[in-house]
Structure 1
Amino acid sequence: MSSFPVLAGFGSGLSLIAAIGAQNAFVLRQGIRREHILPVVVVCIASDALLILAGVAGFGVLTSQVPGLLMAARLGGAAFLLVYAAFAARRALRPAALTVEADTGPHGGNRSSGPQAAVLTVAALTWLNPHVYLDTVVLLGSLASAQGDPGRWLFAAGAALASLVWFSALGFGARGLRRFFARPASWRVLDGLVAVFMAALAVSLLMH
């Protein structure tokens, strides 16, 4: 059995998943702080796998024929991104919120949010972002359909593998940047860039 569909799926998936986005920024931040990395990475990988399978199974055709589904996701995603951008901007303007170590004191501005909050946040960043549906469900689904049977399922496996490799490397590999982000100024830059990017993405979704 040819491995070409697997390689094609891996390359296509990685090229889409690795693009800069709110989800990747959040995973990177969690990885740098070493906070709840495993559940956050698992949510990202599982979500991508489900969306890729939905696209391969034919859901991509449904979303392309019913634009109202993507419109609802676009509006919800824009609202969430604007709120998250505001929080990132607030962190950038408050040095006390930018230490690498989680401050667990009564006045600490950078306390660990807990695994439930981290999982809910990354789930929202994933499922409320219409670009995720366009990339995984519509685009990867259509590319997989061109592989025929059983090639489309091998393509899906390759794309899902790309998600596993990328998010594992991003989440657990971010520890190497920990020294750099030990300085509050580095956190200010990161959170400032995240705020600007998320706000710009939200505007682009509303104007699309």
Structure 2
Amino acid sequence: MTTTLLPALLGFLTGLSLIVAIGAQNAFVLRLGIEGRSRVILPVVVICAVSDGVLITLGVLGIGALVAAAPAVMVVIRVVGAGFLIVYGLFAARRALRPTALVTAAAAAPTGLRTAVVTALAFTWLNPHVYLDTILFLGSVANQQGPDERWWWAGGALLASCVWFAGLGFGARLLRPVFARPAAWRVLDALIALVMLALGLRLAFGL
């Protein structure tokens, strides 16, 4: 029992330490959760968690060596991802300059399911760091656990992803009373703009 639970627990804690951070993906899920768009949140949470599961599995299978050996592909992902983040950051900055209350924001042109799905996929798969964090880092740590224990470790990391994104997406609605004021949206969107632009510029200049 200990030989399975301990690797799973270590995988859970390691995975959680990587994803609990202010980033583009988390900021997007947080905003959807606060807006209370229940029809959209579940698919986005599933996309984020399943994507992590696929990447972690590839890392455990040793695909990290192929990723490290394909710098040209990573450059393309970095450039496209940087452009996407910068554009999204500019939209967030514009919202910060023209904030609206939660009721108004929810009533005016809500994010459609298709748009939310495409955006979640872009935030996940156009971020070069996700390949470094999941395929290379988590994959290498998992493979240090032994042939059997590594899959328990990977399962713990995947569970961390599921718990985090579900909690972030569905728990964010508790903040809705705070975001009934336009000033709260201004602060949130300003922070999102700073995060997106900083990440985008960092990718663009290869920092």
State the TM-score bracket (shorter-chain normalisation).
over 0.9
What amino acid is the match of 1:27? V
**Alignment of 1:24 onto 2:22:** no
Q: Deviation string for 1:24-81 (max 9, x for gaps)? A: 0000000000111111111111111111111111111111222223222111110110
CA distance in 2, matches of 1:182, 1:48: 33
Alignment of 1:117-136 (within 5 A): 117-136=115-134
**Alignment of 1:112 onto 2:110:** yes
Shift of 1:102: 5.4
Q: Structure 2 length as normaliser, TM-score?
A: 0.93
What is the DSSP-based 3-state SS (H/G/I as helix, E as strand, rest coil) of the residue aligned with 2:54? Answer: helix
Say whether the 8 Å CA contact 1:32–1:178 is kept in structure 2. yes
Residue of structure 2 equivalent to 1:171: 169
Say whether the 8 Å CA contact 2:22–2:195 is kept in structure 1. no
Say whether the 8 Å CA contact 1:74–1:128 is kept in structure 2. yes
CA distance in 2, matches of 1:177, 1:103: 15
**4+ long deviations beyond 4 Å:** 102-105
Q: Structure 1 length as normaliser, TM-score?
A: 0.93
Residue of structure 2 equivalent to 1:162: 160
Unaligned residue ranges in structure 1 (runs of 5+) = none
**Alignment of 1:99 onto 2:101:** yes
What is the DSSP-based 3-state SS (H/G/I as helix, E as strand, rest coil) of the residue aligned with 2:103? Answer: coil
- Taking only aligned residues, the RMSD between alpha carbons, in angstroms, comes to 1.4
Residue of structure 2 equivalent to 1:138: 136
Say whether the 8 Å CA contact 2:35–2:106 is kept in structure 1. no
Shift of 1:99: 2.5
CA distance in 1, matches of 2:23, 2:106: 29
Residue of structure 1 equivalent to 2:182: 184
Say whether the 8 Å CA contact 1:31–1:172 is kept in structure 2. yes
Which is worse superposed, 54-63 or 155-164? 54-63
- Using the aligned pairs only, state the percent identity: 56
What is the DSSP-based 3-state SS (H/G/I as helix, E as strand, rest coil) of the residue aligned with 1:113? Answer: coil
Count of residues paired in the alignment: 202
Say whether the 8 Å CA contact 2:60–2:143 is kept in structure 1. yes
Closer/same/farther in 2, CA of residues 91 and 116 from structure 1, 3 Å limit: same
What is the DSSP-based 3-state SS (H/G/I as helix, E as strand, rest coil) of the residue aligned with 1:19? Answer: coil
What amino acid is the match of 2:61? A
Residue of structure 2 equivalent to 1:13: 15
CA distance in 1, matches of 2:75, 2:6: 35
CA distance in 1, matches of 2:106, 2:185: 18
Say whether the 8 Å CA contact 1:85–1:199 is kept in structure 2. yes
